[in-house]
Amino acid sequence: MENLLAIIIGAIFVNNFILTRFLGLCPFFGVSRKTSSALGMGFAVVFVMTLASMSTWLIYNLVLIPLKVEYLQIVTFILVIATLVQLVELFLKKTNEALYKALGIYLPLITTNCAVLGVAFLNVQENYGFIASTVFGASAGIGFTLALFLMSGIRERLDLAKVPKAFQGVPIAFIIASLMSLAFLAFSGMIR
């Protein structure tokens, strides 16, 4: 139980996916202009990351290891995730119209999101069990959403600020992210 708690705190705060691991930077800079779209993207990522952790764990441990073809993990994982995103999209379209409308446009963007693939590789590298992998996937997604949400709040304010010409657009977003990352550094003492 303590172990799971450590995984949750670690994935959300200490090793935040965006601010310390740099996974998923593209949506972080691309979809962080409005709070509403940041939240939509965040929920879609939590959803897909949890499912991706579960399915890649199952495939790695029940198929790749018994067949002794662990070296195929890169090809397998990316195909599994791409298929998974497609399936989720189809499933939502058929069953839950409201949720599909809310998350639909973000789902295709997630296929090439390195955060989702990163979660699968980290589960293998850290040797997590099934439960731990699922929890890690979900909390990594929550950490991603947290950083994206904070960033979008700041950027909405930034529209009103006077930014020097050379810094307009992406450069100032990097400086903000750097300061946010510095703030998140304070969490690093929470886990041994």
Partner 1 sequence: MSLKQLVKGLWKENPVFCLVLGLCPTLAVSNALENGLAMGVAATFVLICSSIIISLIAKKIPNEIRIPAYIVVIATFVTIASLFMAALLPELNKALGIYVPLIVVNCIILGRAEAFASRNNIKDSALDALGMGLGFTIALIIISSIREILGTGKIILFGLQTIRLPIEPAMMFILPSGALLVMGLLLSLFSALKQNKKPLKANCCIEEDK
Taking the least distance from each CB to partner 1, the nearer of 5 and 174 is 174
Which amino acid type is present at position 159?
Answer: D
> CA-CA distance, 81 to 113, in Å (whole number)?
10
Residues near 81 by beta carbon (within 8 Å), at least 6 away in sequence? 48, 52, 56, 111, 116, 117, 120
Minimum distance of partner 1 from residue 33's CB (angstroms): 6
Minimum distance of partner 1 from residue 5's CB (angstroms): 23
> CA-CA distance, 87 to 97, in Å (whole number)?
15
Taking the least distance from each CB to partner 1, the nearer of 95 and 125 is 125
Q: Which residue has the tokens 């202009």?
A: 33
Minimum distance of partner 1 from residue 160's CB (angstroms): 16
Taking the least distance from each CB to partner 1, the nearer of 11 and 122 is 122
Minimum distance of partner 1 from residue 171's CB (angstroms): 4
Q: Please answer whether residues 35 and 156 qualify as being in contact, where contact means their C-beta atoms are separated by less than 8 angstroms.
A: yes
Minimum distance of partner 1 from residue 2's CB (angstroms): 25
Taking the least distance from each CB to partner 1, the nearer of 2 and 78 is 78
Give just the sign of the alpha carbon dihedral 166, 167, 169, 171. Answer: positive
Residues that bind partner 1 (CB under 8 A): 19-27, 29-31, 33, 37, 71-75, 78-79, 82, 105, 109, 112-114, 117-118, 121-122, 125, 164-175, 177-179, 181-182, 185
